[in-house]
Amino acid sequence: MRRKITPPLIAVLLLFLVSTNSAASPVKAGAICTKLNQSTVVAGSNFICAKLGKKLVWNKVPTVSNPASTPPTPPTPLASSTPASTNTTAPCKLPVADGRGDVAIGGWPRIPQRMKSNGTVISQVIMVDFPDAPATMSTQAAFAKISGATDTFKEVSYGKFIYEMQPTTKWYRMSKNSSAYVAGGWSFEKHKNYILEATSLADKDVDFSKSDSFIILANPDAIGMGTSGPAFSPMRNDGITLDGHYIGNGATSAYDLNHWGSIWANHELTHTLGMVDLYTFNPSQNGNVPFPFTGDFSYMGDSSFTSNSPSLLAFERWNIGWLDDSQILCSSSKEITQLISPIEETGGLKAVIIPITKTKALVVESRRPLGIDKNLAKSGALVYLVDSSIQSGLGPVKVYPANTSSDPSFKQSPRAAGESVTVEGITVMVSASDSSGDTVKITH
């Protein structure tokens, strides 16, 4: 039998409903919530109750590309240098979208043909000279020109990557004059044949069976080798096989080694880790400025120890695998306040990334004059766009503010305390800056 509800009981129920509704705040970003980590969905958007200072507030969780496999998780508390262990980074993991294939800014996991990026990589260094340029220096003196690359890799990878070079102790004479190998410019087949000849000469003395990489070190005095010592990063198993072992990543030096020094090896071998060129392939289209996109930032652009700040960008280090997801704050929130620790130091949160489109994101990191960045002219928050639909050498990364006639190397681009920059409707303002890093407020 259905019970009849009397008028007094109706009044009590109405009073309960009114008091309940008046105690609950509407669920929206920034509104007060009551239970830490409580989650809810409103109008198709995910919200989670997170701690902000001493208060609990609703935070909107960015939508991920595959929510079935990567559920949204709570964002990092604001204004904290603690790694963002609960942050979801999926929207910021840009896909390979430039149509090239061998190198890219983006792609998780990395292009599978590229060299492993963590642990120890064994590299054979084969010394070669030429009939027109016989070596007069010792192999030890030649090797000293590139041996520093190991320490540079150790620094920028936070000790995660050890590139162990094993040099030969004698020169191997190539069959042609130096200029004959590069006449008309390198093609893939010409480059591969040069490598095959050099490694075949050394194969009787060198065990390649445990090697994952190689460097063909041409006599540094061989002017005929020109100024292009390229990386070897083939696709489709087009590498070389020696002692029954396939090797698909390496580099060959040229006369310009005398100018660049060991950072030449870091630049070329970082291609074999999958990274792109950040200088321009078309300087005539960019005011005859060789570094119109990133200036003196990242050795994938200006590969010089004397440049302003040659260590790799945070996005590059993350893409390679030297920064963990927990060190990246990826967020589409309309307002973010976050302390970012210097990229040159180990540990801490290293970048705030705002996804803009499927292939484009804004990145903010912190720079200090430490290590190979000792020449940094201005400390502060470095702001740049990454677009994985743009190919190597055509501007896949752009630092802001852009270069000007008064600042062609972008030396004043890092934002100091009180300074700001707006890129594609996103404003980054530095509210504080000290030895711990830069606290940025990002709004859009």
Which H or E run contains 40?
Answer: strand 39-42
Per-residue pLDDT of the chain in tens (444 residues, 90 and over written 9):
333 333 333 333 333 333 333 334 577 666 777 766 565 656 655 555 655 555 665 655 433 333 223 333 333 334 444 444 445 999 999 999 999 999 999 999 999 999 999 999 999 999 999 999 999 999 999 999 999 999 999 999 999 999 999 999 999 999 999 999 999 999 999 999 999 999 999 999 999 999 999 999 999 999 999 999 999 999 988 999 999 999 999 999 999 999 999 999 999 999 999 999 999 999 888 888 889 999 999 999 999 999 999 999 999 999 999 999 999 999 999 999 999 999 999 999 999 999 999 999 999 999 999 999 999 999 999 999 999 999 999 999 999 998 888 898 999 999 999 999 999 999 999 999 999 999 999 999
Q: Which residues have a Cβ under 8 Å from the Cβ of 334 and sit 6 or more positions away?
A: 29, 443, 444
For the chain, how are helix, strand and coil distributed in percent, rounded to 5?
20, 25, 55
C-alpha closest to that of 338 among 381, 399, 397: 381
Give the separation between CA 185 and CA 190, rounded to whole angstroms.
9
Which H or E run contains 59?
Answer: strand 55-60
- Which single residue is written with the structure tokens 């490598």? 195
